[in-house]
Structure 1
Amino acid sequence: MIALARPFNALLNSVALPASLLIVGVMLVGSQLDVPQFAFGNSRLAGPEQVTLAPADFTYRAAGHFLRDGIPVDAPMLQTRLDAPLTIMKYQVRAADYAACVADGACAPAEPRHIGKGNIPVTGVNYDDATDYAAWLSGRTGENWELPTDEQWAFAAGAGFADDALGLAADNANPAARWLASYEKEAARNSEAGRTPLPLGSFGSNENGVADMGGNVWEWTQTCHRRVHVDAAGAILSETPACTIKILDGQHRTPMSFFIRDAKSGGCSVGIPPANLGFRLVRQPAWHETLRTMLHL
């Protein structure tokens, strides 16, 4: 048996390397020819207009409700990096595209509070609506779409990402001072955007080529809200996530209960409630894109 096993193992070893090279070769050919993934069921859809951002270091303020000795404090600034390219929709999901998902029976109807005209983003949608649309779009395009994280959204927003720090001294325990600082910050924000959804592109594109970030439509992310206790040095003592509450990004960052379609109805919003709730998605790279990145092609 041992004598028979040795030739068999030698045979396996002799074909393993060529087989591996063949697989890599097929993957490379597929990547160069941009072989698509298959979308089953209904006819294939072209993906939305996208922007791909190269990996880079950046700084942004952490999300969450931070407390020191039971007193609210500003969240820390984080030095972080996205290690892979980020592909994000240039525009928010259009009302017309979301309506196609509704027509297919894959999404619940939107419930906008303010009715816009023209090529407008969908509004009046909650977190589940957004993830349902992402699943539908993924199935119809053969690509992998999902909501961005708060960190990814901040990276794409660039210099326009709103810093929600109040700038009070860490030992300031006066709730009136915090309320006043919050009020002044809200009053200083640009209120000229109005509340009616405007056509896509109305708020221009930022330095990353991403449009309408910080307009009058706040966007769902997949990041859970959290309550964080820190010590005097800022080190985390405890952290309690609250994943029934998600982070919305826009003119300011705010937590929102996942089932809310209209922020006026409540839902844990901080500060002035968002005028409209919408979303845009990020695309996870296909296997051949990941391979090209790994091989620097």
Structure 2
Amino acid sequence: MQRFLYCAAPLLLGLLSGCNEPLVGPELVVVPAGLANYHLPGSSDVQEEALQEFSIMRRQVSQAEYAMCVDEGDCPALETAADERVAQLPAVGLSWQDANAYAAWLSRRSGHRYRLPRHGEWVLAAASAYIDEAPTVDDPNNPARRWLAEYAQRANRERLPETLKPFGGYGSNEYGLLDAGGNVWEWTDTCFSRNAGDFCGIRIAAGRHPSVLAEFERDPTSGACSVGQPPTHLGLRLVRDD
């Protein structure tokens, strides 16, 4: 398995500044071309997205990896409870803005272009780990019935435990992707908006079910912008384009 390689001596001395050797990025899995089918929150329409082959991280970004970005001044520091540095646990307590800062840092330090996946890409990569829940009620003459049914559906979902598991604790899917159905939801770059425009402040976090959250949200349990049962944790997994 590939791992991050960086200047060992400066790290031992606690001096990460000035360490400019390229990083060897995380292990990737290749997802073959295919169709991603899914429902978005609040919609009874099936979204069908044709996708080309792409490469995505086998696991989520770790606490130790995100901490490196913080130490080099490119990523915002996390809240105290989330500011850990364990190499085998996912980094959580991340906003969409934090996730993009990390992607930009990793791209610069590795020489490869990393980015957040689109929601359709995440669904295709998650494969059997993703459970698409269609609305239980769909009355075109009374949309309120569908909204109420969907709210009840979300509120009744099983709440996953908050304790983080080491990578692989929630298993792997047919592509070798780890923990796609676990207790860490992953930011995507997909905007949740009925009117596409230049500005988007609401994004989709992907997991066992899609969740709609503000870009600045780090704690999904605060209920600021989440509807129904919120994600347990927010983390990230990146696509590599080159």
Kept after mapping to 1: 8 A contact 2:139/2:146: no
2:126 is equivalent to residue 157 of structure 1: yes
Decide which of 228, 238, 241 is 1:271's aligned counterpart.
228
Matched residues in 2 for 1:201 and 1:266: separation? 28
Contact 2:126/2:177, CA 8 A, preserved across alignment: yes
Aligned match of 1:253: 210
Is 1:262 matched with 2:219?
A: yes
Instruction: Determine the C-alpha separation between the residues in 1 that align with 2:119 and 2:37.
Output: 10
Specify which of 14, 18, 29 is matched with residue 51 of structure 1.
Answer: 29
Match of 1:97 among 52, 65, 68: 65
Aligned to 2:101: 132
SS at match of 2:108: helix
Q: What number of residue pairs does the alignment pair up?
A: 223
TM-score normalized by the length of structure 1: 0.68
Q: How far is 1:79 from its partner?
A: 3.4
Instruction: Name the CA shift for 1:185/1:152 in 2 (closer, same or farther; >3 Å).
Output: same
Displacement after TM superposition at 1:113 (Å): 5.4
- The structure whose residues are more often strand, as a share, is 1
Task: Compute the displacement of 1:261 (Å).
Answer: 0.6
Task: Tell me what 2:169 maps to.
Answer: 202
Q: CA offset at residue 152 of structure 1?
A: 0.6
Contact persistence 1:51–1:209 (CA under 8 A): yes
- Measure, in 2, the Cα distance between the counterparts of 1:125 and 1:133: 10
**Percent identity for Structure 1 against Structure 2:** 37
Match of residue 54, structure 2, among 76, 79, 86? 86
Q: How has the CA–CA distance of structure 1 residues 112 and 89 changed in structure 2, closer, same or farther, with 3 Å as cutoff?
A: farther
Question: What is the deviation of 1:265?
Answer: 2.3
Aligned-pair distance for 1:80? 3.0
**Aligned amino acid, residue 163 of structure 1:** D
Corresponding residue for residue 284 of structure 1: 241
Give me the CA root mean square deviation: 2.5
Q: 1:148 to 1:110 in 2, by over 3 A?
A: same
Higher helix proportion: 1
Residue 22 of structure 1 is matched in structure 2 by none
Q: Which residues of structure 1 form unaligned runs of 5+?
A: 1-39, 67-73, 228-238, 286-297
Q: Which of 37, 59, 66 in structure 2 is aligned with 1:60?
A: 37
Is the 8 Å Cα contact of residues 146 and 282 (structure 1) preserved in structure 2?
Answer: yes
Asked if the contact 1:64/1:226 (under 8 Å) is kept, the reply is no
Q: Which amino acid aligns with 1:155?
A: L
Distance in 1 between residues matched to 2:144 and 2:39, nearest whole Å = 22
Matched residue SS, 2:226: coil
SS at match of 1:138: helix
- Give the 3 Å change call, closer, same or farther, for CA 194–216 of structure 1 in structure 2: same
Q: Identify which of 128, 136, 139 aligns with 1:167.
A: 136
Distance 1:190 1:112, change over 3 A: farther
Shift in Å at residue 77 of structure 1? 1.6
- Deviation readout 1:78-98 (Å, 9 max, x if unpaired): 333212x21000000000100
Q: Does 1:111 align with 2:89?
A: no
Q: Deviations over 1:166-194 (max 9, x none)?
A: 2213236374675355424543x444x41
- Gaps of at least 5 residues in structure 2 are 1-17
Are the aligned partners of 1:221 and 1:246 in contact in 2 as well (CA < 8 Å)?
Answer: yes
Report the Cα distance in structure 2 between the residues aligned to 1:130 and 1:42, rounded to whole angstroms.
Answer: 21
Q: Which has the larger radius of gyration?
A: 1
